[in-house]
Amino acid sequence: MATFETLEVSVQGAIGHMALAHPKRLNALSRQTLQDLAQASRWFDEQRDVKVVVVSGQGTSFCAGFDLNDFMNPDPKWGVRESADLGRLMAEAVTNMNALTIASIRGNCIGGGVVLAASCDLRVATDSANFVIPEVDLGIPLAWGGIPRLVREIGPAATKELVLTCRPFGSAEAKSLGFLNTIVSEAELDNHVQALAESLAAKPGYSLRTTKQQVNAVTEEMIGTARNANDADSLVIATYDAESRAASAAYLKSKKKG
């Protein structure tokens, strides 16, 4: 079994589990976590018997988005653009996994966590889950291929509103927009997702993979995510834009007070 610094990975028969394992930070996406997610996705591709992978977060939160500690403290061993591109590489690795992926969402699903969920094939959330995309308030554009993934799932008008206003929204609205497949209670989430994974894993693997590949090919032609290699450039430019930097400082200051 592979081991990762910030993930807990396991396999039970044809079902894999990939859990963000930093609950004290609400499973925020550090540079290491983004690398681990990409590497774990490729590792699962080598496990030919695995048909379904459940993506979740340990503790009370699915994912609190990009780790603000990393945002405030650049690592000198990483180039600026290289660091900014880690999220895109993560999202593409999750999207392109051979196995079907199910995002199991409870608690907070914020910013980059929404992109991670959108990179999965199916999404199940609790009725109390909270969603928000705060990047514009943080002074940066939503990157990592998040825009085309959201347009693909919920349409351009809803994408513009949610990304530009940065307002929170709940599971019921996310379901009505088409982002979620199913809403269940907190107590039901784990059992429901496991039952769904088992029902899918019981089907022929070839048909599962082919269907996923066909749907992804169609949506890629409609709204391509692979064209977003320059998302990292947008993030880097934002760090040099005076108004964006002021917004970022104000946002981080408000979070420290909170």
37-52 pLDDT, tens digit each: 999 999 999 999 999 9
Task: For residue 116, count other CB atoms closer than 10 A to its CB.
Answer: 31
Domains (ranges, CATH) in the chain? 7-201 (3.90.226.10)
**Can you give the pLDDT at residue 74?**
67
* pLDDT digit string, tens, across residues 14-26: 999 999 999 999 9
The tokens of 151 are what?
């347009």
**Can you give the pLDDT at residue 258?**
56
Asked if residues 84 and 128 have their Cβ atoms less than 8 Å apart, the reply is: no
Cα separation of 68 and 119, whole Å? 22
The tokens of 257 are what?
């007070």
Write the CB contacts of 47 (distance below 8 Å, at least 6 apart in sequence): 11, 16
Pairing of strands 52-57, 15-20: parallel
The tokens of 114 are what?
């929404």
φ/ψ of 182, rounded to 5, equals: -145, 145
The tokens of 110 are what?
């914020």
**144 burial via Cβ count (<10 Å: 0-12, 13-18, 19+):** buried
Helix (H) or strand (E) holding 124: strand 122-126
Ranges in the chain, pLDDT < 50: none
